[in-house]
């Protein structure tokens, strides 16, 4: 698993935004992964997606790496942000916008506002 942890660390540190998920950004394979990928896709965020179903070592190691028991897991500029519930709450409160703005990650502010309006 050391190789998997090294691979995870390299991926997290070499991409501004990374989503470890079940499936891919274009074909999520679970509802929670689909929700987070959908938010990022709709907001036009450029992110790397890592399909944990394709590598059992990565699937287990990511949970140890973050000390977080569930997938998906979102990382921004090397920092663990959270899973589906946290990303959803942050999106609806505007905290995700603030995080992206603070970290210099480009996103569509109008799309973020549309998500909030649709869920108000």
Which residues are known binding-site members for [2Fe-2S] cluster? 30
Instruction: Determine the 3-state secondary structure of 23 from DSSP.
Output: strand
Report yes or no: 26 and 32 within 8 Å, Cβ to Cβ: no
45: left (phi over 0), alpha (psi -120 to 50) or beta: beta
- Annotation: binding site: 30
The verdict on whether omega for the bond into residue 107 sits within 30 degrees of 0, i.e. cis, is no
> Distance between CA atoms of 63 and 73, rounded to whole angstroms?
9
Kindly state the tokens that stand for 41.
Answer: 């896709």
Containing 95, the helix (H) or strand (E) segment is helix 95-103
């Amino acid at each position: 698993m050391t190789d998997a942890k090294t691979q995870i660390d390299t991926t997290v540190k070499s991409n501004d935004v990374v989503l470890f998920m079940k499936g891919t950004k274009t074909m999520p394979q679970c509802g929670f992964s689909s929700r987070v990928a959908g938010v990022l896709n709709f907001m036009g965020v450029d992110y790397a997606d890592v399909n944990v179903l394709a590598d059992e070592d990565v699937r287990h190691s990511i949970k140890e790496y973050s000390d977080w028991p569930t997938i998906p897991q979102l990382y921004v500029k090397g920092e663990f942000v959270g899973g589906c519930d946290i990303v959803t709450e942050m999106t609806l409160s505007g905290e995700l916008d603030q995080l992206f703005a603070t970290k210099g990650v480009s996103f569509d502010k109008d799309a973020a506002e549309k998500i909030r309006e649709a869920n108000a």
